[in-house]
Amino acid sequence: MLPNILEGPQDARIMLVGEAFGKEEEYAQKPFVGTAGKTLSKLLAAAGISRSSILITNVVSEKPPKNDIGIFFKDSKHVVPTEKLSLYVKQLKENIERTRPNIVVALGRTALWALTGETNITNVRGYLLESTLVRGQKVLPTFHPQYVNYNWKDHAVVVMDFKKALRESSSPKIHYPRPSVLLESRPGVFVDYCKYLQHEHKEPAVLDLETFTNGMHVDVIGLAESESKCISFKVLEGERVLHSPQEEVRVWTALEQLLQAKPIVMQNGKFDVGILLHHNGILVHNYHFDTHVAAHVCFPELPRSLGFLSSICLNVPYWKGDHKDPMYNAFDVLNTYGVYKFLDKCLDDMQQRHVFQYEMAQIYPAVYLELNGLLVDQDKRSELLATVETKITDAEETVYNTLGKRINLNSPLQLQGVLYVDLKLPTQYKRRKSVEEVRKVTTDAEALNSLLRTTKNPVLHSILEYKKLTKLKSFLNIETRENRVHTCYNITGATSIRKKKGLVVDDEESYSAFGRWSSSASIILPYGSGNLQNIPEEARTIYTVPEGFTIVQADYIQAEAVVVAYIIGDVRLIQMFRESYGCSAAVRKHKYDVHTFTASIMFHVSMDEVTPFMRKVGKTVRHALNYGGGAGVIARRLGCSLPEAKSYLATLLASCPQLLRWHKQIASQVQSTRVLTNLFGRKHKYLGRLTDIVRSAISFIPQSTVADLMNISLCSIFENTDLEVILQLHDAVYVQCLDTPDEVQRTMHILKQHMTRPLRVGKEEFFIDVDFKVGKYWGDMAPIELESRGEHEQRQELQ
């Protein structure tokens, strides 16, 4: 007989099913009494469910050896159960049939598998399913409490799922309103529907294009007028063309007219906008609302795919399983409509409407930059590539001659063998986040540099050289189109990735929150090294502008440091930034350098007496402090002892007590309200554990303020000027202009005008200064001073 442990009242409406016993459960012979049990109780309480009112059980009422559920499966994918597990599943079935709860919540993958046969919890989490184990039984999958312990920010998602379970527990039925869907391949019907939307329908419409065949042809066009009514129009059937050229023209014309007149809603529509513009020459005139952008503003720490958002905002069936399903696109547009209505309200509730508006305004500039690309000087490129390749060969030969054998120097494993086994150098380990983590052997640059310092073995130098050069080479070995590279700017930080079968989906792994743009490979024009925000200095020399033009770079000076100075009210620093505002670069460097200033207060000397060493100490210590770093970092950077680093740290903290006070204030604010607000009113709700997020929280306000400042300025430049922007680099913007002194000065004046925006801390208003560089090549820019209006005009008169 198997143990059968089911806790709670037999007539309960909700049943929770976990995986198996842990140590504590085994001892107590009760489900969920250990750490996962404590978490479960918290999550239930947060959702308003009383633990004593529900049934709680596990698929397996015993503790697997080493807590590895795998031993109950015959295969590594965990789909073929052993005989024992089959008996347990049968027992679960009988338990459900006997108690007949209105809803069963599957906690984690194993319970989900046992109840429904589904294996991917991330996909179906939050969606009501029908059990395959007990016919007609309503199941809601969510994450296991133990998973929540490791991924604390996901607790918010589980609480929402529990709330859904509570709502659904009043009835055993799965009830969805039936949508009205036109599945069409007749051009006439589509054209009529477009006309109806354009002339009669009053609300915004949702648009979604499916582009799953190769190339960038649109396969399906979806349009929704509400969360319950839509059309899904087939343009292509696989490789087969469905309509005559004349019919296609009618279709695209009708769509174009609709997109000229109607407010349009999309989910991550930046991609669709780019495709329509690039391949069909169609501009979406009134891009009214993007659900992906709204989700980024409202829930910066959560995923933003339509599947996830629908599971949180809506009560709809799961539809993301099969992309080939004819209803797939229809559900996409219908649910985008539902999510739109939900998030539209959230923006007001959370007072984030203005943040949403300035993020929406960034979409067109980002699309423009992506489609426009950046010019490559092919001669420079091949020249540099050849030089780098020669150097690589040299470094390689040096290493091989010393070692007496040939290995792949970019292989961490092979390098470990040579350095730590053959040469018997002291093994280097990766730095760990905590002492509990297992030490990992490494051969990264930091380890090699440290070995070079201690052993002075010159082969290490050559290995470092080789690694550096091959990395550089990867930035030069690039494909271009009409001598241009293209990058996709992601204003919400999440990249779209092209998966197998050509499907474009949101990358669920990464979701930024700070308002900075990220840059990744363009799916529309996949040329160049993808990310344009991490091109090394040397490789930038291959990027240029057309004949007769030049590049003007404008960047914010010490932007984050200025923001921090005002926030913490560091009177001396503020005074210095005030005085240096508008000064020439030479004066600024001489009289108003932040790091020299820091060193002068640390070492109690005047600014003139600061030595280069003192400045380096000042710079390192301030840097570490601004980002919540400690003495260990400082010691490593400066190559000094830990006690020395500690005393440096203490010195700066003593002379600038506001800094530490601010750190503490941030920590307590995150603890009490979990919400931080930057100087533009952008809010960030922190969901993770306090200890994990405190450093990120410290950098949020300065970093996101500068990001918003830059992007608002960039939009202003796009909307109000004739300047041609070519690049965005977090706190710098690059434009191309005619290569004449007047045009360069005019460009600089306009940039300065649009980049100079007041920031406010309390009642105090301040500005962040801008400085300029100019040059023909991105990697070869020289500082240039903004001439006063007087000088500028004088010169114009002379000409």
Partner DNA sequence: GATTTTACGTA
Partner DNA sequence: CGTACGTAAAATCT
Tokens of 310: 């629908």
Q: What is the rounded distance in angstroms from the CA atom of residue 676 to the CA atom of residue 684? A: 5
Cβ–Cβ < 8 Å for 224, 336:
yes
Q: CA separation (Å) from 216 to 219, 276, 484, 524?
A: 9, 10, 19, 7
- Beta carbon nearer to DNA, 591 or 695: 695
Give bridge partners of residue 15 from the DSSP assignment. 55, 104
Alpha-carbon radius of gyration of the chain: 30
Q: Name the minimum Å distance from CB 458 to DNA.
A: 18
Three-state helix/strand/coil letters over 271-324: HHHHHHHHHHCCCCCCEEEEHHHHHHHHCCCCCCCHHHHHHHHCCCCCCCCCCC
Q: Name the minimum Å distance from CB 764 to DNA.
A: 25
- Beta carbon nearer to DNA, 253 or 410: 410
- Beta carbon nearer to DNA, 445 or 587: 445
- Beta carbon nearer to DNA, 414 or 455: 414
Tokens of 206: 């949702």
Q: What is the rounded distance in angstroms from the CA atom of residue 675 to the CA atom of residue 374? A: 39
Residue 698 C-beta-side C-alpha neighbours within 13 Å: 22
- Beta carbon nearer to DNA, 1 or 435: 435
- Beta carbon nearer to DNA, 166 or 774: 774
Q: Name the minimum Å distance from CB 507 to DNA.
A: 7
Q: CA separation (Å) from 310 to 31, 109, 412?
A: 31, 20, 42
Q: Name the minimum Å distance from CB 456 to DNA.
A: 19
DSSP class of residue 482 equals: T
- Beta carbon nearer to DNA, 183 or 729: 729
Angle of helix 690-720 versus helix 559-568 axis, rounded to 10: 120
Q: Name the minimum Å distance from CB 679 to DNA.
A: 17
Q: Name the minimum Å distance from CB 531 to DNA.
A: 4
Of 515, 177, 221, 252, which is closest to residue 361 (Cα–Cα)?
515
Q: Name the minimum Å distance from CB 484 to DNA.
A: 16
- Beta carbon nearer to DNA, 300 or 338: 300
Q: At 82, phi and psi to the nearest 5?
A: -75, 170
Residues contacting residue 757 through CB under 8 Å, at least 6 positions apart: 709, 712, 713, 767
- Beta carbon nearer to DNA, 50 or 691: 691
Q: At 773, phi and psi to the nearest 5?
A: -135, 155
Tell me which residues touch DNA (CB under 7 A).
76-77, 408, 410-414, 430-431, 433, 440, 442-446, 467-468, 471-472, 474, 490, 493-495, 500, 507, 510-514, 516, 518-521, 529-531, 533-537, 623-624, 627-633, 691, 695-696, 699, 729-732
Residues contacting residue 93 through CB under 8 Å, at least 6 positions apart: 133, 134
Q: Name the minimum Å distance from CB 510 to DNA.
A: 4
Cβ–Cβ < 8 Å for 125, 143:
yes
Q: What is the rounded distance in angstroms from the CA atom of residue 654 to the CA atom of residue 660? A: 9
CA 424 to chain centre: 41
Q: Name the minimum Å distance from CB 412 to DNA.
A: 4
Tokens of 458: 């010159």
Q: Quick check: helix, strand or coil at residue 490?
A: strand
- Beta carbon nearer to DNA, 91 or 496: 496
Q: Name the minimum Å distance from CB 503 to DNA.
A: 12
Cβ–Cβ < 8 Å for 71, 65:
yes
Q: Name the minimum Å distance from CB 443 to DNA.
A: 4
- Beta carbon nearer to DNA, 94 or 444: 444
